[in-house]
Amino acid sequence: MPELRVDVDAIGRNTEAVAALLSEHGLGLVAVTKGCLGEPRVAAAMIAGGALAIADTRDINLRRLHTALPGVELHRIHLPSLTVPFEPGDITYVSSWEGAAAVAELGPLGDHEATPRRVMVQVETGDEREGAPLENVERLVLDIAADPRLDLAGISTNYACFKGTPSGIRRSVESLAAAAGALRAAGQTVERVSGGNSSLLSLLVAGERLPVEVTELRCGEALLLGQDALFYRPLPGCRTDTCLLRAEVVEEYTRPAARGLVRRLVLGIGRQDVGSGGVRFLEPGVSEIGRSADYLVVEAGGECPPVAVGALIDMIPSYEALVAAWTSPYVELTLLLGS
């Protein structure tokens, strides 16, 4: 069975590095745990590393995080369902009045009848995925402000998760900042402005500053894999080997190829385990040829030492591969603590 080995303490140190980078720019860090199935021990390491809150998309993850980490602020960053009951966060992200009304209908927070539910309005700024269009944001905020069951925590956006390209990252965060400024000028209280995800870290590393309206970022990939989510470059002070996939060599042969004989290995891991996400091999000279549901086929070049059937090959997953592996029932999870 393939194995996913996760250095929890190293993730905590990655969090420290990212939190310090954001702090230099006056920004807070909300740590996203959807990539690690809401694992409470990983979330605890992120909080210890300087994250001010934890965000996740799945109800089951939010429930166990709430139980394991009482007192930690939880953000539900998945839009509310209108057809089935959902687990709210201390802050729940919405992009429509229908979603906000679904949160309001949950009733007051806890045992305090006068405590409204806090919501963050998600704004679409170029990724073409979720979020209220910019021209609809003021109306939605006004509707939320008029409902005593709701309290506006702020506004947020997401970029580079669907169709956003590097050329638009600056425009995305500036559009959100302009929306926050317009709301404040109209008399609305906008306490928090969540400028985006790990993709924005590439701007900070390059020495750029974000608009002053932005108060925080939501980061998951940067903490788990030590890289930004736009150019996938290592971040200062971060380790990129915190999560390792280990797969067994189940076949090894020299086979004919277009350029002559090549040595190929078949690994016991495939699309059912890592989806279509990329992986980076630690063994020199190893490169992927292709994959099927159950197998990943690699070529072992001249730099690669002899590899026998039964040997283990280590690889670093991309974020997509990490999410797939962590949620696959066919991958054994090993959490390394105290390293």
If asked whether residues 163 and 254 sit together in one domain, one would say no
Please tell me the predicted confidence (pLDDT) of residue 301.
87
Residue 237 lies in a domain: no
pTM, to two decimals: 0.95
- Tokens matching residue 278: 């990329």
CATH code of the domain covering residue 304: 2.40.37.20
If asked whether residues 181 and 317 sit together in one domain, one would say no
User: CA end-to-end span of the chain, whole Å?
Assistant: 24
If asked whether residues 308 and 175 sit together in one domain, one would say no
Q: Domain count for the chain, please give it.
A: 2
If asked whether residues 162 and 263 sit together in one domain, one would say no
Residue 1 lies in a domain: no
Residue 69 lies in a domain: yes
Among 197, 225, 253, identify where a domain stops: 225
Going by the DSSP 8-state scheme, the letter that residue 228 receives in this structure is: -
If asked whether residues 71 and 116 sit together in one domain, one would say yes
Report the C-alpha gap between 210 and 207 in whole angstroms.
10
Among 196, 225, 254, identify where a domain stops: 225
If asked whether residues 261 and 160 sit together in one domain, one would say no
If asked whether residues 265 and 190 sit together in one domain, one would say no
Report the C-alpha gap between 331 and 333 in whole angstroms.
6
Among 198, 225, 252, identify where a domain stops: 225
If asked whether residues 218 and 257 sit together in one domain, one would say no
Q: What percent of the chain has pLDDT over 70?
A: 99
If asked whether residues 260 and 154 sit together in one domain, one would say no
> pLDDT category, 171, cuts 50, 70, 90?
very high
Distances 76 to 89, 91, 120, 218, 290 between C-alpha atoms, Å: 5, 6, 9, 12, 36
Residue type, 196: G
Residue 186 lies in a domain: yes
If asked whether residues 214 and 292 sit together in one domain, one would say no
What's the pLDDT tens digit per position in 193-224? 999 999 999 999 999 999 999 999 999 999 99
What's the pLDDT tens digit per position in 252-267? 998 887 777 889 999 9
Residue 144 lies in a domain: yes
Strands 286-291, 296-300: pairing is antiparallel
If asked whether residues 74 and 135 sit together in one domain, one would say yes
What's the pLDDT tens digit per position in 226-249? 999 999 999 999 999 999 999 999
Residue 96 lies in a domain: yes
Residue 17 lies in a domain: yes
If asked whether residues 329 and 269 sit together in one domain, one would say yes
- Average pLDDT estimate for 304-321: 95
Return the ∠ at Cα 125 (arms to 78 and 233), rounded to 5°: 80
Residue 3 lies in a domain: no
Range of the structural domain that residue 182 is part of: 8-225
**Residue keyed to tokens 């729940």:** 92
What's the pLDDT tens digit per position in 83-119? 999 999 999 999 999 999 999 999 877 665 678 999 9
Report yes or no: 226 and 240 within 8 Å, Cβ to Cβ: yes
CATH code of the domain covering residue 218: 3.20.20.10
